Structure 1
Amino acid sequence: MDTIYLRDIELAVTIGAFAWEQKISQKLLLTLTLKVDTRAAAASDELADALDYGAVLSRVQALAAELSPEQPVRLLETFAERIATTILAEFGKVQSLTVDLAKVFIFPQVPRIGVVIERGR
């Protein structure tokens, strides 16, 4: 299986377990590692045979835009699972994926703190 990755996607979202976090926008960094068979795309050189990673990025950005004080998500684990479930449901070429999702500088001494999940069909 081949790998397509989207590294260090910056997302500004409302997320957090504490009330004050639900009132602010926080920066998350997302890295997606997608397992896909790319042989058909390589042979044809046609986007129709490839995973459209621009569409994957747009979908993830739309999921991030849904996070708000009106529709709160408290945990990174919840948002990571939502990303994984959505990609597997909507992009049939993806056989499995890793979602690496991190908050940036929520603790002064730690540049990133996050969660990594792996899901597959």
Structure 2
Amino acid sequence: MDKIHMQGMEFYAYHGVFSEENKLGQRFRVDIVMEADLREAAAEDNIEKSINYAEAYEAVKDVVEKEQYDLVETIAEGVAANLFKNFSILKRVNVKVIKPDPPIPGHYDHVAIEIVRGRQ
């Protein structure tokens, strides 16, 4: 299967289990890898036969910025579902939601969850 990568998309949102996260908000990064058969798009040189990056970005942004969730797992599931809804050629998607600054003590680069979903 062919893959389209979109890495390091950044958003500011109000997700989290702690009330401070819901009030103050924080940065989130999202990486996606979308799998689809892109041969027809390439053969015809036609964006309508592929997945438009700008539209994919908006599909991710809609989930991350418009709703409020406790868990990053819920964000990832919502992103996957919205991408499947918007792109009929999408067969499988890997979604990684990264919280660079979670409110937990310690030294680390970030925390993240990653899911892989296929079209049902």
For the criterion TM > 0.5, the same-fold answer is yes
Deviations 1:55-76 (A, max 9, x none): 0101211222213xxxx31000
Letter in 2 for 1:93: I
Counterpart pick for 2:94 among 64, 74, 98: 98
**Residue ranges of structure 1 left out of the alignment (5+ in a row):** none
Q: Does structure 1 conserve the Cα–Cα contact (< 8 Å) formed by 2:10 and 2:29?
A: yes
Distance in 1 separating the partners of 2:75 and 2:45: 34
**Residue ranges of structure 2 left out of the alignment (5+ in a row):** none
Q: Spell out the pairing of 1:1-121 with structure 2 (5 A cutoff).
A: 1-67=1-67, 72-106=68-102, 107=104, 108-121=106-119
Q: Does structure 1 conserve the Cα–Cα contact (< 8 Å) formed by 2:33 and 2:95?
A: yes
TM-score relative to the length of structure 2: 0.92
Q: Does structure 1 conserve the Cα–Cα contact (< 8 Å) formed by 2:26 and 2:101?
A: no
TM-score relative to the length of structure 1: 0.91
Distance in 2 separating the partners of 1:93 and 1:29: 25
Count residues in correspondence: 117
1:94 aligned counterpart, secondary structure: coil
Cα RMSD of the aligned pairs, angstroms, is 1.2
Shift >6 Å, 4+ stretches: none
Deviations 1:38-66 (A, max 9, x none): 10011011111111121010121122221
